[in-house]
Amino acid sequence: MPTAEKVTLHVLPPSHPCMTARAALEYKGVEFELVTLDFATFGDTMEQVYGPGNRTVPGMTIGDQPIHKSVAILERIDREYPENPLYPEPVGEAVREAELWANGDLQDLGRRLSWGALRFRPEAAGTMAGGQPLDPAGTDYAMKLIHGTWKYHGISAVRLADDLKLLPSLIARVDGFAERGLIDGNQPTAADFQIGATARVLLTVGDLRPLLDGTAAERIALRFFPDYGLDIPAGAFPEDWVVDELPATADG
């Protein structure tokens, strides 16, 4: 029997792990309260609810039980609400492996590339909530925020250039997951939600759209996360940093 206790999800837009958790809850038909945290204080709030050191989003509570981070949330959702499984047999274990890969390597890279592009086109931060590009005063403020985010996530131009070289092989690997039936099927899996959320963030970067065009990553991103406000115009990254073709083969 599904739990009758209150479910609450704590999020911070535009976090893509938060998008993952929310999409899974909605897919399962779970009634939940969505609590959107303040950017300036979210870390302190998360620690109060989820314990010392747990400052990142998302977090979910079922009654008074805290569940922290998207992988743990999806596992718990699937246990409490087994209908329409997120880890369907006979590919459940492979789906879990793809999800963990996406939650690690792909998720961090998506975060760095989107915030990396914003530093070169800071006025685009105004589109994050579906608005217009920022005016000069707003751009000045955004530059301070973006600079702090670079420092927090260890972003540098050298690291971005390396990420851009690596990205095609990761997108090709996602195509491999689709060929194996782990994502992009009739019913979504946990890997769909984990990979799709990061792919949707990557699609906000105009420089990366040619690479993702027609891929499984693009399909699941637009299928499960059609609305996402951020739009960073092409030209943020130097042209010779960007690779717009997939490798011939990849290990999925």
Distance of CA 49 to the CA centre of its chain: 22
CA distance 231 to 150: 19
Please give the residue that has the higher pLDDT: either 39 or 92: 92
Is residue 251's pLDDT more than 70? no
Q: Which two tokens stand for residue 162?
A: 């390396």
Q: What is the mean pLDDT of the chain?
A: 95
Of the candidates 187, 192, 28, 181, the one whose C-alpha atom is nearest the C-alpha of residue 91 is 181
Rounded to 10°, the helix 157-179/216-224 angle is 90
Q: What is the pLDDT of residues 14-26, one digit of tens each?
A: 899 999 999 999 9
Let me know: does 46 contact 11? Beta carbons within 8 Å.
no
Write out the H or E segment, with its range, that includes residue 79: helix 70-80
CA distance 215 to 116: 23
CA distance 42 to 37: 5
Domain topology for 7-80: Glutaredoxin (3.40.30)
Of the candidates 125, 148, 123, the one whose C-alpha atom is nearest the C-alpha of residue 135 is 123
Q: What is the pLDDT of residues 73-123, one digit of tens each?
A: 999 999 999 999 999 999 999 999 999 999 998 999 999 999 999 999 999
Q: What is the pLDDT of residues 124-171, one digit of tens each?
A: 999 987 789 999 999 999 999 999 999 999 999 999 999 999 999 999
- Identify the pLDDT of residue 137: 98
On whether the pTM is more than 0.85, the answer is: yes
Domain boundaries defined on the chain: 7-80, 92-241
Q: How far is CA 38 from CA 1, 13, 44, 57, in A?
A: 35, 9, 10, 12
Q: How far is CA 239 from CA 59, 116, 159, 177, 208, in A?
A: 38, 14, 16, 29, 11
